[in-house]
Amino acid sequence: LLSASLHGMLTNPATPWFSLKFKNIDMVDEDAANEWLEDATDKMYEAFNRSNFQQEIFELYHDLITFGTAAMYIEEDEEDIVRFSTRHIGEVYISENNKGKVDTVFRKFKLTARAAIMQFGEQNVSKTTRGIAMKDPYEEITILHVVYPRENYDPRKKDNKNMPFASCYIEPDNKHEISQSGFNEFPYVVPRYLKASFEIYGRSPAMTALPDVKMLNEMSKTTIKAAQKQVDPPLLVPDDGFILPVRTVPGGLNFYRAGTRDRIEPLNIGANNPLGLNMEEQRRNAIRDTFYVNQLMMQNGPQMTATEVVQRNEEKMRLLGPVLGRLQSELLRPMIDRTFAILLRKKLFRPAPEFLAGQDIQIEYVSPLAKAQRASELQSIMRAIEIFGSLAQVSPVFDHINIDNLVTHLAEIVGVPAKVLNSKSEVNAIRQQKQQQADQQMQMQQLQQVAQAGGQIAPLAKALPEEARALVAPQE
């Protein structure tokens, strides 16, 4: 449930979960820049949806919840543009740099000799592997993939041996280097669920719940034994008067000496199944709390009010906040950066305007979980607007608020797509057109008033004597 919830709240395929924006605030008013950025975002969503991203990311969440550390390999693909592969953490060994960021990965895995030749080429594998492929092509060999940052390389050269990260495939059993190349970006994303300051590998909810899980298993065994003893209890058989063996099967006949008072009776062991079941339920609740089941599932009960829903979401955000921050920095950001760089090298973005040269792009997370975290900010703004509305009757308090910036900020918080909003130039054009229409309407009203006034003066002018009309005529 927790892995499915993280998938739905962080990388839901049905809703946008990230957007791109410029770090330079002045670029917000540049329509051409915003159009290019929106087109680039659409291209990235298209690449994610076209690839196997959704299948692999769910496997990553599952590994993350189970083992505390997960690894995904991101590589270029001719057909799908980008290809994602979640690697089992049992194959992966990682190392951090001085900033606590994973920048070195050793992955040791098995591959059939036939698959190794198909992937690396017959001329690149060792002689031993070629011999194995001829005898038994499905026999597995050990491959070691090492990715680490290069310390000495020439960035002016474009060959794969002068890239920031080195990539080596090795046959450790045969001490043979299969290939050596490189990457412009670190191809692995290695998120950790939670970890202490001195640890490299992460901790998971499953690790926290493991003692309770083991205890629950032992308690269940005991409860089952107690139930078996109650349903099929041990029997008290007299040592004399019965012909053995005692038959306890349905319809079994047992012979005993007539006249004796001894009977076969069940042994009362005093089993207390309800106590065992109650203790098991306590362990189950502890396991559910470890995986946030009660917070993630809607509880059965009376209809919740809007305030209760908001409080429940805030509680969920407080619980998942630390996890979300780590996943954003160790999973989402490097994954989006790597995908953006691949699409940029493949020239899948349309040509950018020249004035965008040197502009930095940053990632904004707009997933349901990120929106829920900003819900308190939205509530504060709406509360302030309500207060200002009541004060506006006695003082022009809205003069303190930039309405245009407020609308833009609210649209950003609730996640309104940029394509449905008018740009600043379009807003100015609409306002100018409305102002022109208002000015024209005012001029028409003034002309109508003048015409009405002229119609009222004309009869009076005709009623004047000829001497008075002669005085008025020169003025006309």
The string of pLDDT tens digits covering residues 40-60 is 999 999 999 999 999 999 999
- The residue type at 302: P
Q: What is the DSSP string of 380-419?
A: HHHHHHHHHHHHTTTS-GGGGS-HHHHHHHHHHHHT--GG
Three-class SS state of 224: helix
CA distance 23 to 364: 11
- Torsion sign over Cα 174, 178, 182, 188: negative
Q: Which residue has the higher pLDDT, 297 or 352?
A: 352
Number of H helices, E strands in the chain: 15, 12
Model pLDDT, residue 202:
92
**Over the range 102-116, which residues count as b (16 or more CB within 10 Å of their CB) and which as e?**
bbbbbbeeebbbebb
Model pLDDT, residue 466:
60
Q: Please, are residues 113 and 141 in contact by the beta-carbon 8 Å criterion? A: yes
User: At residue 415, does pLDDT exceed 80?
Assistant: no
User: At residue 367, does pLDDT exceed 90?
Assistant: no
User: At residue 250, does pLDDT exceed 90?
Assistant: no
pLDDT-based confidence at 459, cuts 50/70/90? low
Tell me the per-residue pLDDT of 265-318, one tens digit each, with 9 for 90 and over. 787 877 778 888 888 889 998 988 888 887 777 655 566 676 666 666 666 666
CA distance 20 to 309: 30
Q: Which residue has the higher pLDDT, 227 or 398?
A: 227
Model pLDDT, residue 332:
93
Query: Cα dist. 122→114, 116, 128 in Å?
Result: 9, 8, 11
CA angle 440, 446, 451 (to 5 degrees): 125
> Average of pLDDT values for 248-269?
75
Q: Among 109-113, 321-325, 443-447, which range has the highest average pLDDT?
A: 109-113
Model pLDDT, residue 474:
47
**pTM for the full predicted model:** 0.76
Neighbours of 382 (CB within 10 A): 11
Q: Among 30-39, 160-169, 257-266, 320-329, which range has the highest average pLDDT?
A: 160-169
> Average of pLDDT values for 427-431?
81
Model pLDDT, residue 393:
79
Query: Cα dist. 382→406, 407, 415 in Å?
Result: 11, 12, 16
Q: Which residues contact 454 (CB under 8 A, 6 or more apart)?
A: none
Tell me the per-residue pLDDT of 110-137, one tens digit each, with 9 for 90 and over. 999 999 999 999 999 999 999 999 999 9
Position of tokens 């829903």? Answer: 309
User: At residue 64, does pLDDT exceed 90?
Assistant: yes
CA distance 431 to 424: 11
Model pLDDT, residue 241:
64
pLDDT-based confidence at 145, cuts 50/70/90? very high
CA distance 242 to 233: 19
Spatial CA neighbour of 40 closest among 423, 353, 352, 332: 352
Phi-psi region of 161 (alpha: psi -120 to 50; beta: other; left: phi over 0): alpha
Query: What is the maximum alpha-carbon separation in the chain?
Result: 158
State the average pLDDT for the chain.
83
- Give the H/E segment covering residue 20: strand 19-22
Q: Among 15-19, 149-153, 167-171, which range has the highest average pLDDT?
A: 167-171
CA distance 179 to 166: 11
User: At residue 228, does pLDDT exceed 90?
Assistant: no
Q: Please, are residues 33 and 22 in contact by the beta-carbon 8 Å criterion? A: yes
Q: Which two tokens stand for residue 458?
A: 């004309």
Task: State the burial class of residue 125 (Cβ atoms within 10 Å of its Cβ: 0-12, 13-18, 19+).
Answer: buried
Q: Which residues contact 444 (CB under 8 A, 6 or more apart)?
A: none
User: At residue 476, does pLDDT exceed 60?
Assistant: no
Range from 50-64, 292-306, 324-338, 400-414 carrying the lowest mean pLDDT: 292-306
Tell me the per-residue pLDDT of 194-225, one tens digit each, with 9 for 90 and over. 888 888 999 999 999 999 999 999 999 988 88
CA distance 180 to 124: 11
Q: Which two tokens stand for residue 46?
A: 């298209």
- Torsion sign over Cα 360, 147, 103, 42: positive
Residue 383 CA neighbour count, 13 Å, CB half: 6
Model pLDDT, residue 475:
46
User: At residue 471, does pLDDT exceed 60?
Assistant: no
Model pLDDT, residue 266:
81
Model pLDDT, residue 63:
93
Q: Where are the domains of the chain?
A: 2-205, 424-475
CA distance 163 to 148: 11
User: At residue 74, does pLDDT exceed 90?
Assistant: yes
Tell me the per-residue pLDDT of 81-103, one tens digit each, with 9 for 90 and over. 999 999 999 999 999 998 889 99
> Average of pLDDT values for 169-189?
93
Tell me the per-residue pLDDT of 238-247, one tens digit each, with 9 for 90 and over. 777 666 777 7
Q: Which residue has the higher pLDDT, 2 or 367?
A: 2
CA distance 401 to 385: 10
> Average of pLDDT values for 444-455?
75
Cα of 267 vs its chain's centroid, Å: 58
- Give the H/E segment covering residue 112: strand 102-112
Neighbours of 418 (CB within 10 A): 15
Q: Which two tokens stand for residue 434?
A: 């409305």
Cα of 153 vs its chain's centroid, Å: 36
Position of tokens 């394509």? Answer: 419
> Average of pLDDT values for 448-468?
63
> How many residues belong to the chain?
476
